[in-house]
Structure 1
Amino acid sequence: MPSPAVKKSIWALAIAALIAVVVILCLPILASTQIVRDSVAQQVSAWSGYRVRLDDAPEIRVWPSFKAVLNDVVLSNWNGDGQPAVMEAERVEIDLSALAALRGEVVFTKIRLVRPVVRLDESGGVMRIPAIPKWGKLAQSVEATRGLIQANPAEPDTSALPNDSFATVEIVDGRVIVLNGVNRPPVLSSVTGTLNWPALDRSATLSAKGIWHGESIAVEASSEEPLIMLAGGKTNVSLSVNSAPLTLSFKGQADIVGNAFLHGTLESAAPSLQRVLEWTLLEDWPGSTIKAAKLKSTITGDATRVKFENAEFNLGDSSARGVFDIAFTDPHPTVSGTLAFNALDLGVLLNTLAPEPDTAATPAAPWARDLNFDLRLSANEATAGSVSMTDIAATAQVRDGLVSLDISDATAFGGMLQLGIRLDRVEGHDQAELRITAENLNGGAMAEKLHLTSFMPRAPGSFSVFLKGKGETLDEILETSDGSISASFGEGTVPGLNLESFREHNDKGSFFPLTEIADGELAIDGAELKATLAGGIAWIDTAEAKLETGETITLGGLIPFAGRGIALSGSILPPESDKPVDENGEEVSGESDPRETFFIGGSWNAPFIAPFLIE
């Protein structure tokens, strides 16, 4: 005979089987009553606070799980007659608690929304989820939690939080659109995800995928106390966003109500910053591709200002550390702060602030419409094309349409360099301004880096350039520029000029190309240049070179930028010791008669020289 323990086990299994049979037999009876059918819609309305309309009666299924299937579900505001529904769903499948149904109650365990459409309110260019009606169970729980936060903002009594069970919510092929946005594409489409929130006083997780602005995007989020966060309190959260243009993660504390609050660690990366800008701003970004970007920082802020501390920032091959913040109090957000780079590509930086347009109809500086910048920059090393600099101190600003980059201090070619670039729009025209000041530079090193094989003195020197012009390209700016150029050089050589060969050709009395005398170097004791720019034409005020022989070469005339022509006259003056004297042996005032005179014409690419005969 079986032992007493075995008998007890057999009886337990028999009772459990009997209960299961009773439940299975009773469920169809319960399901066929109006208890479940009416209560399903009532519970949906009670939780959401919205009016629920079912175009078809709920379908109750018992096997393989106990669920209600609602077709053509519409949620709308109670006082919103004639207004579009807040949410519509082709089908809603609700898993029900079988034991609760036996007690005549309806308890949801899982809600599955099939092809739902959610409509957002839009005002002032900001999209918001419509306010949840205050009488709904979720809204009332949020209001009760808000009272706990007000009683003790620092440490609200979490043991007193509403603890109602909440269902797992699944979304299949959902869309998010703008209220009354008939002719606008969905804000989000192909949304599939799961919200797991077992009870209101427990943690919640969200996992979702969808398409935003034409790109697939995956979101993972969690909150330790979601009810406190919804009520305006701070709670620990984590968020990750993954897409082809951008990856982003945040971990820290957040408050999403009112002025909002964030404090935690943010990390983001993008293979192409240009692609991120095009993706988020929904406009083609002009100019060449802006390189990859990365950011890691501690962030603290609210809806008016976010501060990035201990920030590590990478743009292309440039990396930086520093502090900056983004303020949202002005019509355009303002980014300001200080960044220290180990290496900085000034070309990439300028192209980021003001990318060159692809067409004349494309604005040259989209940042001027969307963002303001005020950044203090420093770098151990920096490059601008082939030019290398060290110990850089710079300022980059974009404000009210004005873009500026100022290098107040830099070391280059063994000397000091200062640079200022400004881009603005004045009276409907793009205007550019360039300032360069250089002192004690090594002319030979500069010529080598800039690939200036001829006419650039291989000598120590200083120069300054100021020009202002209108246009979107460098050629247009030069062809309309006003300003000045000055330069002075010490002892050295000027490649591309053979003085003896020049004299031989000049004595023949016929014009000849400059290339025929480019096989030598001209030794100089010093050189000086001063020119005035007006309407895109450089007028030579002073241009002379002191030769080792004591002679002086002088030039005068004009060089127009448009057409790249040359019209210069020149002469070679004898040494000071050869000045004429009067009958008393005293020098005659004024310049000595030139030994050779000549004219330089043609184009920049193919200049020629024609001699002037001296009688």
Structure 2
Amino acid sequence: MKLIRPVLAVIVILAMLFAGALAALPYIVSTDSIRLHLAQNISAWTGYSVEIRQPPRMSFFPVFRASLSDVTVSKMGDANTPFMAAERIEVEMSPLDALFGRVAFTETRLINAHFALSEPVEDLPQFVNTLASSSGRLGLAIRQARNVTARKTDSDQQSDKQLQTMPFGRLVLENSSIGFTTRNTERQEQISKINASIDWPQTTSAATVKGKAAWHDETVDYNLNVAQPLLLLARGMSQMSAQITSKPLTISFDGRSNISENIFTEGAFSLSSPSLSESLHWVGLSSDASYSLRATADDAFSIETNVSATPLRIKLSDIVLNLNNMPAKGAAEIGFGKQRPVVTGTLAFQTLNAVSFFHTVTTLVTKVSEDEEAKNYGGYRYAPPRMIDTRLLNSADLDIRLSAQNASIGAAQMTGLAAALQIRDGQAIFDIGDAKAFKGSIQTSIKLSQTEDGQDNIGVRLNAANIDSAVFLTALGLNDPILSGQGNLSVTAETSPQSLQSMLRNARGQISFTLNNGRMLGFDLNDFIVKMKSEGFFALQRRDKVSLDFKRLDVKASLGDGVATLETTKAETMQGALSLTGIIPLTDRSLALSGTLTLPQPAKEAADTPADSGQATPPAPVATPETTELTVTEPLFPPAENLHFFVGGSWDRPFISPSK
């Protein structure tokens, strides 16, 4: 009992001394000293000039903290353009160190800080070099690490132990931002609402960065782990892993990297997105800010690959890609040395929907008006997309070689496809160099471009050899095709793709095809002849289980001013020849044609007298030298009979009007 009282007295006295020390801290620790130490620490760590315009405010509960307002960090000799400007910096200190006159910070918080970068890829190595050239502790550690890495060999496993160890602490950013200029476009960008914690206990330990930020109105979660950050700052390679998660896309990387003047990264990379067009627009590949993003899952995208990257080139090998449920494998390369990124590569698909693929890489966004923004278009965030959009044509150059065992263009099925997609000089060209289709072979090219006045333009070229016309017409949507036969088709056309009406109205080009030994299904020639001779006006109707066989069918037409002009249409049959000329308006589906049916007359007999009349046939006259004129005989095949007619009405309901 006697021993307890002195112990309690000691405890009470120590508690009173500790409380008194805390109460005396505001008088022991000078605010000017804290401001000076903070400025010196930041300058020593970064090598930048620090200016703190306001005296710090102190708080002691729940932690000993100093708050400093209006802080700027600038490059030495360039105070006009600060690298960082913070509304407030809060530092946590050890009370025990403060009692002994030492100012040591355990945690630093940057609140409403803004970092100004000219270009992130270029500025990062410059910033690291500035850190290395500073006279502070971090600069000394980086220079010492650079000397170590310069002597290090692959077999030297002990050199990392020579790196200088010193405490770094914890850095927290609250509601901060980064402003920078994008490469080539000179567009100003900003990453806002940055809330992050950087934990780096010692210079020789691993570092982690975790937090959230906002970019282009989307929230991004990020997590970065660096195994040897000091080696990374010393131009060496360090293992690292990173994850970026957002609504438009998710990215992960696991490999190694450095951040020298020639930044190099290699490792396993993966990316997934519910909509590739949405992701590309989000990261800034759409240069027109007046166009709003469409929300659709028609172009879901994922990729896994091994990446090797420098500031000017990214190589992707062992690509495993899936675009809208179309898996593919291949390799690619992206170059940044020119005005626009240049993408080259090869992709081998098991199954390829060519229309979906071409649409994905050319149609990204859709223009909307202020009135349309308030409307709901059922599945689209704003307005429905235009049929084809060419704004991506000026964002990047592409040269992608494609192959597919099975492919489709709409309802057309193909095998053994070899194709190429090229985007260059404001044009996009999708070429199918070879493919088996319609029981024959095809070659086709689709070109997107813009005219001098800014109008979108689409051109189509199609050459088909030995195709089945019935299969081809069925693929075009005609469930009950009128023609059946084997032949060749050639189409060259261009138009404006703003809408279906404008495509038909502005189409111009040439169409020709030839069929041999085919049939015109549902056409009864005998019934047609009878009605032509007996009726003045009648509807042309298809008849079941009837057809007109022809030896050859030739069609040649031109497109322009919203009409198709039949220059040549001729079918040669055993019963005669059928030809048509005229125009077919494309917008109202009407007909304005004139036709001719040529029917050959039967051959006349050489004599009218029956052979069994019992009378002798007079001998044929014998030519003599005195004969001055030759006998002219009547031809055995007199001129053919021509039936002329007009065709009016509509495509699905034509009417025939005979004419003289």
Whether contact under 8 Å (1:455, 1:497) holds in the other structure is: no
Residue matched to 1:330: 338
- d(CA) in 2 for partners of 1:518 and 1:288? 48
Residue matched to 1:544: 570
- d(CA) in 1 for partners of 2:89 and 2:449? 56
Unmatched tracts of structure 1, length 5 or more: 2-6
What is the one-letter code of the residue matched to 1:596?
L
- 1:170 equivalent among 169, 172, 184: 172
Whether contact under 8 Å (1:287, 1:355) holds in the other structure is: no
Alignment of 1:519-530 (within 5 A): 521-530=546-555
Give SS of 1:396's match: strand
Whether contact under 8 Å (1:453, 1:495) holds in the other structure is: no
What is the one-letter code of the residue matched to 1:315?
L
What is the one-letter code of the residue matched to 2:467?
L
Whether contact under 8 Å (2:474, 2:481) holds in the other structure is: no
- d(CA) in 1 for partners of 2:135 and 2:211? 25
For residues 179-216 of structure 1, give each alpha carbon's deviation from its aligned partner in whole angstroms, at most 9, with x where no partner exists.
Answer: 9xxxx997122221111111122211100101110001
Q: Structure 1 residues 349, 410: closer, same or farther in 2, change over 3 A?
A: same
Whether contact under 8 Å (1:120, 1:178) holds in the other structure is: yes
Q: CA deviation at 1:373?
A: 0.8
Give SS of 1:497's match: coil
Residue matched to 2:323: 315
What is the one-letter code of the residue matched to 2:224?
A
Q: CA deviation at 1:236?
A: 0.8
Worse-matched range after superposition: 522-531 or 470-479: 470-479
Give SS of 1:461's match: strand
Aligned alpha-carbon RMSD (Å): 3.8
- d(CA) in 1 for partners of 2:511 and 2:579? 17
Residue matched to 1:439: 465
Q: CA deviation at 1:468?
A: 3.8
Unmatched tracts of structure 2, length 5 or more: 182-186, 370-385, 607-631
- 1:408 equivalent among 421, 433, 437: 433
- d(CA) in 2 for partners of 1:453 and 1:509? 31
Residue matched to 1:372: 397
Q: Does 1:533 align with 2:552?
A: no
Whether contact under 8 Å (1:69, 1:94) holds in the other structure is: yes
Whether contact under 8 Å (1:379, 1:390) holds in the other structure is: yes
Give SS of 2:356's match: helix
- d(CA) in 2 for partners of 1:233 and 1:37? 35
- 1:280 equivalent among 279, 283, 290: 283
Q: CA deviation at 1:400?
A: 0.9
Residue matched to 2:56: 58
Query: How many aligned positions are there?
Result: 596
Residue matched to 1:148: 148
Residue matched to 2:349: 341
- d(CA) in 1 for partners of 2:119 and 2:315? 28
Q: Does 1:116 align with 2:113?
A: yes
What is the one-letter code of the residue matched to 1:216?
T
- d(CA) in 1 for partners of 2:163 and 2:107? 22
Residue matched to 2:302: 294
Q: CA deviation at 1:416?
A: 1.4
Q: Structure 1 residues 149, 50: closer, same or farther in 2, change over 3 A?
A: same
Q: CA deviation at 1:293?
A: 0.6
Q: Structure 1 residues 350, 37: closer, same or farther in 2, change over 3 A?
A: closer
Residue matched to 1:208: 211
What is the one-letter code of the residue matched to 2:345?
G
- d(CA) in 2 for partners of 1:482 and 1:304? 43
- d(CA) in 2 for partners of 1:16 and 1:96? 25
Q: CA deviation at 1:61?
A: 4.0
Q: CA deviation at 1:425?
A: 3.0
Q: CA deviation at 1:418?
A: 1.6
Whether contact under 8 Å (2:473, 2:481) holds in the other structure is: no
Q: Does 1:601 align with 2:648?
A: yes
Residue matched to 2:224: 221
Q: Structure 1 residues 88, 436: closer, same or farther in 2, change over 3 A?
A: same
Q: Structure 1 residues 280, 153: closer, same or farther in 2, change over 3 A?
A: farther
Q: Does 1:266 align with 2:265?
A: no
Whether contact under 8 Å (2:523, 2:548) holds in the other structure is: no
Q: Structure 1 residues 579, 380: closer, same or farther in 2, change over 3 A?
A: farther
- 2:42 equivalent among 35, 41, 44: 44
Residue matched to 1:353: 361
Whether contact under 8 Å (2:94, 2:104) holds in the other structure is: yes
- d(CA) in 2 for partners of 1:153 and 1:214? 47
Q: CA deviation at 1:399?
A: 0.6
- d(CA) in 2 for partners of 1:110 and 1:581? 119
Whether contact under 8 Å (1:397, 1:403) holds in the other structure is: yes
Whether contact under 8 Å (1:499, 1:517) holds in the other structure is: no
Give SS of 1:502's match: helix
- d(CA) in 1 for partners of 2:212 and 2:239? 23
For residues 112-151 of structure 1, give each alpha carbon's deviation from its aligned partner in whole angstroms, at most 9, with x where no partner exists.
Answer: 223323233359x988798456425334533443343334
Q: Does 1:448 align with 2:451?
A: no
Alignment of 1:8-27 (within 5 A): 25-26=20-21
- d(CA) in 1 for partners of 2:35 and 2:425? 61
- d(CA) in 2 for partners of 1:325 and 1:555? 54
Give SS of 1:347's match: helix
- d(CA) in 2 for partners of 1:12 and 1:168? 39
Residue matched to 1:389: 414
Give SS of 1:41's match: helix
TM-score (structure 1 length as normaliser) = 0.85
- 2:658 equivalent among 607, 611, 614: 611
Q: CA deviation at 1:376?
A: 0.7
Whether contact under 8 Å (1:479, 1:561) holds in the other structure is: yes
For residues 429-466 of structure 1, give each alpha carbon's deviation from its aligned partner in whole angstroms, at most 9, with x where no partner exists.
Answer: 54432121222323333333333145531233332222
Worse-matched range after superposition: 16-25 or 396-405: 16-25
- d(CA) in 2 for partners of 1:597 and 1:319? 57
Residue matched to 2:520: 494
Q: CA deviation at 1:382?
A: 1.4
Whether contact under 8 Å (2:300, 2:323) holds in the other structure is: yes
For residues 297-326 of structure 1, give each alpha carbon's deviation from its aligned partner in whole angstroms, at most 9, with x where no partner exists.
Answer: 111121111111110111112111111111
For residues 500-527 of structure 1, give each alpha carbon's deviation from its aligned partner in whole angstroms, at most 9, with x where no partner exists.
Answer: 443343234433343x456564231344
Q: CA deviation at 1:381?
A: 1.4
Give SS of 2:471's match: helix
What is the one-letter code of the residue matched to 1:498?
D
For residues 458-517 of structure 1, give each alpha carbon's deviation from its aligned partner in whole angstroms, at most 9, with x where no partner exists.
Answer: 233332222244665565455455543222224443334333443343234433343x45
Percent identity at matched positions?
28
Give SS of 1:451's match: coil
Q: CA deviation at 1:104?
A: 3.4
Q: CA deviation at 1:530?
A: 3.4
Q: Structure 1 residues 385, 238: closer, same or farther in 2, change over 3 A?
A: same
Give SS of 1:159's match: helix
Q: Structure 1 residues 584, 84: closer, same or farther in 2, change over 3 A?
A: same
What is the one-letter code of the residue matched to 1:442?
D
Q: Structure 1 residues 56, 433: closer, same or farther in 2, change over 3 A?
A: closer
